[in-house]
Chain A
Amino acid sequence: MVSRTVAKDIITLRGSAAIVSEFFGYAANSILYNRGVYPEESFVKVKKYGLPMLLTQDDGVKSFISNLNAQLSEWLEAGKLQRVVLVIMSKATGEVLERWNFSIETDNEVVEKGVSREKSDKEIMREIQAIMRQIASSITYLPCLDEPCVFDVLAYTDKDVAVPFTWIESDAKLIANPQMVKLHSFDTKIHKVDTLVSYKNDDEWEEQ
């Protein structure tokens, strides 16, 4: 569908922050589902971004993610959020097996001057859709997580941000010698989000 005039929508800082934090919520759910961190039966299907998306019914996880989103929105509006990482770890050993890294570039002019930008909402949705599809397809190359896993969320912010009450400072929980795959990005013209997944190079041929 080609049209001369592309209908653009106005994006405000607040609106963009909402889009990004909402994206993160759905992406996190999708990752937890696809990687089997929580059982399939605990998810319910909803429609979002033109795709069937899965959301957890587990109260603990639900409230964790919604609190997270609120905090991320706040940081995004202040232009202070640099990165959000969802870390998957072995329940038994605490070893980091996988990291889903969402890097954020903020247009500081918007933050400082309060201007708004224009971009078609549909376009943004399409970009997000592409990322969600990739997340679901990533089982193509990701190692099998056949032990019980837990997840955690790390947020990288500007140095001058005070640590909120329910958060603690932590180490980066990196993977040594990771395999890394870059996925698609999306851009609201105010926040640009790059997605990357890194995982352990596991050698199943050696004795565990």
Chain B
Amino acid sequence: MEDVEVQVLDPETEFLASKRETGNEWELFKENVRPLKRGRNVSVLNDALKAHTQNQLKKSLLEERRRLIEAIDEYQGDDPLHPWIQCVKWIQEAFPSAGDSSGLVLIYEQCVRTFWHSDRYKDDFRYLKVWLEYADNCIDAQIIYTFLDANDIGKTHAAYYIAYALHLESKSKMKAANEILNLGISRSAQPIEKLRDAYKKFLLRSMKMQNANNNEDSMENNNASVRSFGTVLAGEENRRQTTENSNLAKKLLKPEQVQRAPLSVYNDRNVDTIGQNSKLKTNFNPWQTLGTRAERNKENNSIPAKWTSYKVPQRPGPRAGGSTTQGACIQVFVDEECSESKTGTETESGRTSSLQLREMDGKNIKKETELLRENPLRNFPSKSLPR
């Protein structure tokens, strides 16, 4: 139906009349922006993108980040999670490429590690979200989901089951994904409608996949189903997470190839029990390295390195403000050259860990981020880890 109306002053008319222009940086540098589910504030985005070339802006971004981290330490109120969330949200907006130098993965990790044993936040949606975003950034998030399950974190929220099931689905563990979604429904996780909806879509996808697999047709047909699988999944989760999409497509393609041997995908050769990471290496999962990593992770988990024992080589004096990508690693957008002086305190993991975030210079943030991506729970005390 079409509608007719005459209006006088609404925010949009006012905006247009004011002749304010929106900067163009968002369009010029769109490849460097990782879309956020909640959308972005365009003026913050434009400033963040400008910071790449304007040192003054860059300095003030780093200043702001430091200030938010300090706020975490200095918080006196009764919701200690709150300043962490503010910090996370801000970093997401201010470092739109969410690259390894942004410190985003580090702050996720420190946040979750600070509160993992706290009863208060077990059901807190924001806390769960930090975990889920952390999981999104890791190479294999299985251990995170297992951890959440073992520690009863987030089990009242539909988002947990949806994310976990998607993760399992991406590894072709359809039965396990099915079980997880059903578990969530049986527990009446909220919002239940969203969960039911996700389950319906999951069933549709797995039916499509099954139909395609049952065809005697060549790869072509299967490729088509693989492609649409990837598309539908991307539409479901986040259409724009292209990295995830291409990962999914890659992961799913290989099973199709193996199918040419007389085994249909639904003969679940993986044992579909939740949390059996080691099975990864025996299945046809193409990423053999993934299996190996999982193995390595297990060893590392039993002897976690405490954050304090990781020596950060200090570079004396401030670096020249103008120089940019001097490090061996090329980060297109954000480069933190301002070396922040050591605060001098030896710290235990926990509340003061945020100080360590401040100490880090660009290179170390990157290194630690990479380590965390591979082994998300590496800093956790061994007794907390799921067996």
Could you tell me if B39 and A142 are in contact, using CB atoms closer than 8 angstroms?
yes
B30: Cβ under 8 A from any A Cβ:
yes
Could you tell me if B12 and A99 are in contact, using CB atoms closer than 8 angstroms?
yes
Task: Pick out which of these stretches binds chain B: A6-14, A52-60, A147-155.
Answer: A147-155
Could you tell me if B2 and A68 are in contact, using CB atoms closer than 8 angstroms?
yes
Could you tell me if A179 and B2 are in contact, using CB atoms closer than 8 angstroms?
no
Q: Which single member of B5, B30, B125 contacts A137 (CB below 8 Å)? A: B30
Could you tell me if A155 and B27 are in contact, using CB atoms closer than 8 angstroms?
no
| Chain A, residue nearest B237 (CB) | A146
Count residues of A near B (Cβ-Cβ below 8 Å).
60
Task: Pick out which of these stretches binds chain A: B13-21, B334-342, B378-386.
Answer: B13-21
Residues of the A chain whose Cβ atoms lie less than 8 Å from the Cβ of B7:
83, 156, 172
**Separation in Å of the A46 CB from the closest CB of chain B?**
21
Residues of the B chain whose Cβ atoms lie less than 8 Å from the Cβ of A172:
5, 7, 10
Q: How far is it, in angstroms, between the C-alpha of A204 and the C-alpha of B35 when the chains are bound?
A: 13
Residues of the B chain whose Cβ atoms lie less than 8 Å from the Cβ of A133:
27
B37: Cβ under 8 A from any A Cβ:
yes
Residues of the A chain whose Cβ atoms lie less than 8 Å from the Cβ of B5:
154-156, 169-172
| Chain A, residue nearest B228 (CB) | A41
**Separation in Å of the A71 CB from the closest CB of chain B?**
8
Q: How far is it, in angstroms, between the C-alpha of A10 and the C-alpha of B13 when the chains are bound?
A: 31
**Separation in Å of the B239 CB from the closest CB of chain A?**
6
**Contact bitstring A57-87, B, C-beta under 8 A = 1, else 0:** 0000000000010010000000000110000
Q: How far is it, in angstroms, between the C-alpha of A152 and the C-alpha of B3 when the chains are bound?
A: 8
Q: How far is it, in angstroms, between the C-alpha of A173 and the C-alpha of B1 when the chains are bound?
A: 14
Could you tell me if A204 and B10 are in contact, using CB atoms closer than 8 angstroms?
no
| Chain B, residue nearest A177 (CB) | B11
Q: Which single member of A140, A144, A178 contacts B26 (CB below 8 Å)? A: A140
Q: How far is it, in angstroms, between the C-alpha of A141 and the C-alpha of B85 when the chains are bound?
A: 20
B45: Cβ under 8 A from any A Cβ:
yes
A25: Cβ under 8 A from any B Cβ:
no
Asked whether A181 and B10 contact (CB < 8 A) given A156-B5, A204-B129, the answer is: no
B41: Cβ under 8 A from any A Cβ:
yes
**Separation in Å of the B226 CB from the closest CB of chain A?**
15
Q: How far is it, in angstroms, between the C-alpha of A161 and the C-alpha of B4 when the chains are bound?
A: 9
B33: Cβ under 8 A from any A Cβ:
yes
**Contact bitstring A189-207, B, C-beta under 8 A = 1, else 0:** 0000010101111111111
Could you tell me if A144 and B39 are in contact, using CB atoms closer than 8 angstroms?
yes
Could you tell me if B125 and A207 are in contact, using CB atoms closer than 8 angstroms?
yes
**Separation in Å of the B5 CB from the closest CB of chain A?**
6
Could you tell me if B4 and A167 are in contact, using CB atoms closer than 8 angstroms?
yes
| Chain A, residue nearest B240 (CB) | A139
Q: How far is it, in angstroms, between the C-alpha of A96 and the C-alpha of B125 when the chains are bound?
A: 25
A42: Cβ under 8 A from any B Cβ:
no
Asked whether A146 and B236 contact (CB < 8 A) given A205-B85, A205-B126, the answer is: yes
Residues of the B chain whose Cβ atoms lie less than 8 Å from the Cβ of A2:
none
| Chain B, residue nearest A166 (CB) | B2
Could you tell me if A182 and B191 are in contact, using CB atoms closer than 8 angstroms?
no
B235: Cβ under 8 A from any A Cβ:
yes
Q: Which of B15, B129, B231 has the most CB of A within 10 A?
A: B15
**Contact bitstring B75-99, A, C-beta under 8 A = 1, else 0:** 0000000000100010000000000
Residues of the B chain whose Cβ atoms lie less than 8 Å from the Cβ of A159:
6
A157: Cβ under 8 A from any B Cβ:
yes
| Chain B, residue nearest A41 (CB) | B228
B194: Cβ under 8 A from any A Cβ:
yes
| Chain B, residue nearest A105 (CB) | B16
Asked whether A170 and B39 contact (CB < 8 A) given A140-B33, A182-B21, A198-B12, the answer is: no
Known: A168-B4, A170-B4, A196-B16. 11 other contacts (CB 8 A): A68-B2, A82-B6, A140-B33, A152-B1, A153-B2, A154-B5, A168-B2, A174-B11, A180-B22, A205-B89, A205-B126
A interface residues with partner B (beta carbon < 8 Å): 36, 39-41, 68, 71, 82-83, 99, 101, 103, 133-134, 137, 139-144, 146, 152-159, 161, 163-164, 166-174, 178-183, 194, 196, 198-208
Q: Can you list the 9 inter-chain pairs with the closest CB atoms, starting with the nearest? A: A143-B39, A170-B3, A204-B38, A141-B40, A167-B2, A144-B37, A182-B22, A207-B125, A140-B30
B interface residues with partner A (beta carbon < 8 Å): 1-7, 10-13, 15-16, 20-22, 26-27, 30, 33, 35-42, 45, 85, 89, 125-126, 129, 157, 190-191, 194, 228, 231, 235-240
Q: Can you list 28 A-B pairs with a CB-CB distance of less than 8 A?
A: A103-B13, A103-B16, A139-B35, A139-B239, A140-B33, A140-B35, A141-B35, A141-B42, A142-B39, A143-B39, A144-B39, A152-B1, A157-B4, A157-B6, A164-B4, A166-B1, A168-B2, A168-B3, A169-B4, A170-B5, A172-B5, A180-B22, A182-B22, A198-B11, A199-B39, A201-B39, A202-B39, A204-B129
